[in-house]
Amino acid sequence: MLGKNIIAAVNPDAQQRILLAAHWDSRPFADHDHDKHNHYTPIDGANDGASGVGVLMEIARQMSIQKPNIGVDIILFDLEDYGQHASIDRSINGENTWCLGSQHWARNPHVSSYDAQFGILLDMVGAEGATFGYEYYSNHYAPGIIQKVWKTAASIGYGDIFRKEDGGGVLDDHVFINKYAFIPTIDIIHHSPSTTSGFFEHWHTLEDGIDKISKESLKAVGETVIHVAYLE
């Protein structure tokens, strides 16, 4: 499988750097669609992946107008959502079929002896009414970054969206950045306790389209992340 990560650098020569990331691929099969005839059809992935990409593209545009003090690397990972089809038993191949772009990058960074102070991953940040809790691996590897981001969100009026509550545990790109690149990295990811998946209602279905995307959710995440970056 050929994958391509897309990487941009703001202030490429700055020593002090942070990393912002999302996945740009979308799931090649709608294996959680309510209609089983769709289980092998690719999804649009407006929320599950593209929402994070959209926020990061606007942050890149803002930073081209007003440069932050620090360096910022924006990485769009490929093959996050290539994980094995839901019809296959999870215990067989399981976890190592997900997040292939980030697994590759974390072991082979684009710059030799790459380092960043911390990283923020955005995943499924565009659903209407999205809320974010303390995702398990984020809080395990990077509790200080969780506190920094959630405090910043509250300070600009997004305390109802960035909630001081448990946010489940998700094997996502940030886990591999923490494990293999040793950069403390959090995942801002919509956690929904009311669905069986724990994700947004239309997760891995053909319903994950642009018509379900909320500008307000994108704005809350984008403003929070850009504030964190400009405060460094």
Residues that bind ligand AHN (CB under 6 A): 48, 81, 83, 98, 123, 170-172
Nearer residue to Zn ion within complex by CB, 27 or 190: 27
Q: Find the binding residues for Zn ion in span 6-45 (CB under 5 A).
A: 27
Residue 114 C-beta: closest distance to ligand AHN, Å? 24
Q: How far is CA 152 from the centre of its chain?
A: 18
Buried/exposed code over 70-85 (b: 16+ C-beta within 10 A; e: otherwise): bbbbbbbbbbbbbbbe
Neighbour tally for 176: CB within 10 Å: 22
Residue 83 partner contact from ligand AHN, Zn ion, none using kind-dependent CB cut-offs of 5 to 8 Å:
ligand AHN
Residue 62 C-beta: closest distance to ligand AHN, Å? 25
Rounded Cα gap, residues 1 and 10, in angstroms: 30
**CB under 5 A: which stretch of 48-56, 138-146, 187-195, 216-224 binds Zn ion?**
48-56
Residue 177 partner contact from ligand AHN, Zn ion, none using kind-dependent CB cut-offs of 5 to 8 Å:
none
Q: Does 173 bind Zn ion (CB under 5 A)?
A: no
Which of these, 161, 141, 130, lies nearest to 224 by C-alpha position? 161
Q: Which residue has the closest beta carbon to ligand AHN?
A: 171
- The structure tokens 């209602």 sit at 201
Residue 31 C-beta: closest distance to ligand AHN, Å? 11
Eight-class DSSP state of 145: H
Nearer residue to ligand AHN within complex by CB, 73 or 123: 123
Residue 199 C-beta: closest distance to ligand AHN, Å? 7
Q: State the number of CA atoms in the 13 A half-sphere of 227 facing the CB.
A: 17
Buried/exposed code over 41-57 (b: 16+ C-beta within 10 A; e: otherwise): eebbbbbbbbbbbbbbb
Q: Does 172 bind Zn ion (CB under 5 A)?
A: no
Residue 204 C-beta: closest distance to Zn ion, Å? 6
Nearer residue to ligand AHN within complex by CB, 44 or 48: 48
Alpha-carbon Rg for the chain in angstroms: 17
Rule CB under 5 A: which residues touch Zn ion? 27, 48, 81
